[in-house]
């Protein structure tokens, strides 16, 4: 059964409805400052229905979804998947320099562009 909808598309974190119903992320570990791109939320809406509030979101490419960033020179640990020697995937922790910024193409959210 169809329902009323008013779908709005957001082009990025500067769009008017980008942060509707997106909560602030708690500060974890040693990350120093609130992310300047997502303002501590770690993600934003790429599409939101203003009637039902269903939405599609993308992770922030600056803080990798944490909402907080490292301001010093300490490496930041990020969850990643690697292939184990037995040929099966397993979770690992990948360390990346704090000043290294991975770009995400808004046309393919969630896919990093090297």
Q: What pLDDT shows up at residue 29?
A: 75
Q: What pLDDT shows up at residue 114?
A: 45
**pLDDT band for position 105 (50/70/90)?**
low
Q: How far apart are CA 22 and CA 82, in angstroms?
A: 30
Q: How far apart are CA 24 and CA 64, in angstroms?
A: 14
* Residue with the larger pLDDT of the pair 107 and 80: 80
Task: Tell me the whole-structure pTM to 2 decimals.
Answer: 0.68
User: Please, what's the largest Cα pairwise distance for the chain?
Assistant: 54
**Residue 25 CA: distances (Å) to CA of 47, 55, 76, 101:** 20, 18, 17, 20
Q: Tens of pLDDT along 51-69?
A: 999 999 999 988 888 898 8
**pLDDT band for position 98 (50/70/90)?**
low
103 pLDDT higher than 60: no
* Helix count and strand count (H, E) for the chain: 0, 9
Exposure on the CB side of residue 94, measured as CA atoms within 13 A? 9
Q: Tens of pLDDT along 11-62?
A: 999 999 999 999 999 987 777 889 999 999 999 999 999 999 999 999 998 8
Q: What is the mean pLDDT of residues 71-80?
A: 78
Q: How far apart are CA 44 and CA 62, in angstroms?
A: 12
Q: What pLDDT shows up at residue 31?
A: 76
Domain boundaries, the chain: 7-71
């Amino acid at each position: 059964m169809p329902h009323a909808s008013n779908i709005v598309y957001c082009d990025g974190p500067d769009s008017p409805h980008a942060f509707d119903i997106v909560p602030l992320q708690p500060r974890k570990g040693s990350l120093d400052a609130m992310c300047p791109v997502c303002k501590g939320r770690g993600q934003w809406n790429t599409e939101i229905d203003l009637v039902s509030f269903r939405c599609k979101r993308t992770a922030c490419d600056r803080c990798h979804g944490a909402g907080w960033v490292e301001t010093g020179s300490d490496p930041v640990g990020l969850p990643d998947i690697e292939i184990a020697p037995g040929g099966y995937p397993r979770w690992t922790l990948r360390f990346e320099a704090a000043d290294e910024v991975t770009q995400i193409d808004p046309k393919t959210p969630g896919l990093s562009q090297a």
